[in-house]
């Protein structure tokens, strides 16, 4: 199912490429080389003992991420927050119906 969601993201008209040129960099923002950056809204955060499960809505679609609880707490993630999903991977799987 996650593969299908990725396919929808990249084919969706709501996909936006958000590369930031150096003039947009400022204190507190770390420039990234990852090109697959998608803005969305946090719709669910579940904190476990060590990990956190975060669901981000992008248009009609959702991307799920598992990050450390410490990272979620340091970011102060909560429902309604605007975030940027950064997809950096050696593999992206596709599924065809």
How far are the Cα atoms of 5, 39, 51, 67, 75 from residue 78, in angstroms, in the given order?
22, 15, 15, 14, 9
pLDDT attached to residue 47: 97
Distance CA 69, CA 61 (A): 24
pLDDT along the chain (97 residues), means of 10: 36 46 54 82 97 95 93 95 87 80
Q: Which residues pair with 84 in a beta bridge?
A: 39
List the domains of the chain with CATH numbers.
2-16+36-87 (2.40.50.100)
Which residue reads 């940027």 in tokens?
A: 84
Whether the predicted model's global pTM rises above the 0.75 cut:
no
pLDDT attached to residue 58: 94
pLDDT attached to residue 70: 94
């Amino acid at each position: 199912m996650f593969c299908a969601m990725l396919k929808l993201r990249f084919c969706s008209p709501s996909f936006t490429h958000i590369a930031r040129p150096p003039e947009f960099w400022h204190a507190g923002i770390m420039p990234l080389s990852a090109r697959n950056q998608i803005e969305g809204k946090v719709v669910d955060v579940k904190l476990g003992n060590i990990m956190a499960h975060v669901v981000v809505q992008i248009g009609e679609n959702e991307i799920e991420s598992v990050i450390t609880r410490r990272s979620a707490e340091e970011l102060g993630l909560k429902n309604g927050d605007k975030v940027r999903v950064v997809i950096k991977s050696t593999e992206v799987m596709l599924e065809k119906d």
